[in-house]
Amino acid sequence: MGSTTPPKRVLLLTNSEHGQANVFLATSYALLTLEDEDVEVHFASFPPIRSFVSSTSEYAQHTKPGARPIVFHTIEGVDMVSAWTRPEIEAEQAALKHRSCIALINAIRRTLVLLKVTLPWTGPEFVQIFHSVTDIIQEVQADIIAVDPAFSPALTAIRSLNARFIVLSPNTIKDFAMPLQPNGDALWKYPWYIEFPLRVVPTHVVPCGPILRPARPVAEVDPALAEWLRGHPGSGEGGGGGGGGGGSRPAAVAAPAVVYINMGTHVFFDEVMAGEMARAVRVLLDRAMEKGVVQSGVRDSVVERVLGEEVRRGVVRIVEWMEAEPTAVLESGAVVCAVHHGGANSFLESVSAGVPQVVLPMWMDTYDFARRAELLGIGRWGNRRANKLCEGSELGEVLADVVVSERSVAYAQRAKELADLCKKLGGGRVIAARHILSEIKTTSAIRPLLPSEGENESDPLLKDRTGESR
């Protein structure tokens, strides 16, 4: 490292759930690999994410020899996923299936469950996490903190210590700027216009574009899958360009191509939904599609009945888990369509790879991305009519439209244009990393650790477990 100047010290605070944590993993990699910067990254979260932090650190050091390893700090307490999957919360979510004839009652019930999902900890659990994060902040003494906006105990600790921080999120500009629109626009105008034209974009909201983790190529992680993908190339350039000739099919799918279906870790297929998905794939295959990749935790008789021959021939590949990262699969050049649940990361991974997409929204915020895909001209909302995850005939027609119809060329071209835009200035993770570093001041990131002149001594959250003021 040569220089006597101390490294810039950054603390990242996030839940361990990948929907939020992935942008922190991506940004930590970018912070460590900036050629003109010396950065010491501290990553505080719950144990489930630790192995991913380690692999990110190792990959950064492989990319930039001499980069500092990420220092991981374990946060004590119940992680968010464990908290929101406790039986009582799951029971309330299940009860939402029984709808009232009064729409207002349904809205109130859903809002109450949503609040418990976004803040799922009990009082004692919240305080335990708060104390743990407080200890980490005081130990690290970072120049700047980047925090997950869905991690309420960490935000509370930061504000209690008056720490200098920046919010890092996978969400869109709309999610942060909409409440600041004039004339009460947030109450009536949106999401008719999903993101633009916003009349006010606050100066403290910094657009970065997709903030994505780097991924090792599929060939390094799963040679068998890589061979399967190589044997069935799609467009040849990020899944979004044109191919050679080939009968009556559009040029975009002239070569055998891959549809990648990955509904994430929180979507579980029962036999009914597995059957509907299989029937949708059947519709697509009958329209001359050659390949499908299905990631699912279900291997049951209904799928065998609908797609058994294609599974045996290797036309359809069903796996419970993939070692390769989704971004690596999407960037393989073989994928011509991605099917997902509408999570921010899934949407942005597909956009960055230049892959058209079909979105099957399940939760409130995921409907935003289904509509966004259509407005941007890069895909379709796949369950608009179905009052469930998917309905075979509807989804099959949507897949056929995106993959094998005459419009598939336009979807692919528009997806490629957006992918090229996302890669400017090094991509979202580099933009985020440089902005975080630009916020570092020469003054201390946090005020003196002990309260002065009785400041905060009455705050019950700043009392330790014995009741003494900190």
Q: Chain-wide mean pLDDT for the chain?
A: 79
Point out which residues pair with 380 in neighbouring strands.
Answer: 358
Q: Taking residues 61-89, report their average pLDDT.
A: 89
Q: What is the pLDDT of residue 196?
A: 55
Give the separation between CA 233 and CA 333, rounded to whole angstroms: 7
DSSP 8-class letter at 442: S
432 pLDDT more than 90: yes
Give percent of the chain above pLDDT 90.
Answer: 41
Residues 6+ apart with CB under 8 A from 255: 232, 233, 234, 235, 236, 243, 244, 246
459 pLDDT more than 60: no
Secondary structure class of 103 (helix, strand, coil):
helix
- Of 12-16, 236-240, 299-303, 374-378, the poorest mean pLDDT is in 236-240
240 pLDDT more than 50: no
- Residue bearing the bigger pLDDT, 391 or 312: 391
- Residue bearing the bigger pLDDT, 413 or 249: 413
Q: How confident is the model at residue 350 (pLDDT cuts 50, 70, 90)?
A: very high
**pLDDT tens-digit series, residues 100-139:** 677 676 676 666 666 667 788 999 999 999 999 999 999 9
Q: What is the pLDDT of residue 71?
A: 98
Structure tokens at 174: 């709309």
Q: What is the pLDDT of residue 170?
A: 87
Q: What is the pLDDT of residue 321?
A: 77
Indicate the pTM of the whole model.
Answer: 0.78
- Of 17-21, 49-53, 417-421, 447-451, the poorest mean pLDDT is in 447-451
Give percent of the chain above pLDDT 70.
Answer: 70
Write the Ramachandran bin of 359: left for phi over 0, alpha for psi from -120 to 50, otherwise beta.
beta
Q: Taking residues 142-166, report their average pLDDT.
A: 95
Q: What is the pLDDT of residue 428?
A: 92
157 pLDDT more than 70: yes
Q: What is the pLDDT of residue 288?
A: 60
Residue 366 · residue 341 · CB < 8 Å: yes
Q: What is the pLDDT of residue 283?
A: 86
Give the separation between CA 366 and CA 369, rounded to whole angstroms: 5
SS (H, E, C) 193-218: CCCCCCCCCCCCCCCCCCCCCCCCCH
320 pLDDT more than 70: yes
Point out which residues pair with 469 in neighbouring strands.
Answer: 463
16 pLDDT more than 80: yes
Q: Taking residues 224-234, report their average pLDDT.
A: 75
Secondary structure class of 244 (helix, strand, coil):
coil
Q: What is the pLDDT of residue 294?
A: 54
For Cα atoms 183, 186, 189, give the angle at the middle one, nearest 5 degrees.
85
Q: Which amino acid is at 68?
A: R
Q: What is the pLDDT of residue 257?
A: 81
**pLDDT tens-digit series, residues 268-319:** 767 778 788 888 888 888 876 555 555 554 455 666 667 666 676 667 777 7
236 pLDDT more than 50: no
Direct distance between the N- and C-terminal alpha carbons of the chain, in angstroms, rounded to an integer: 38
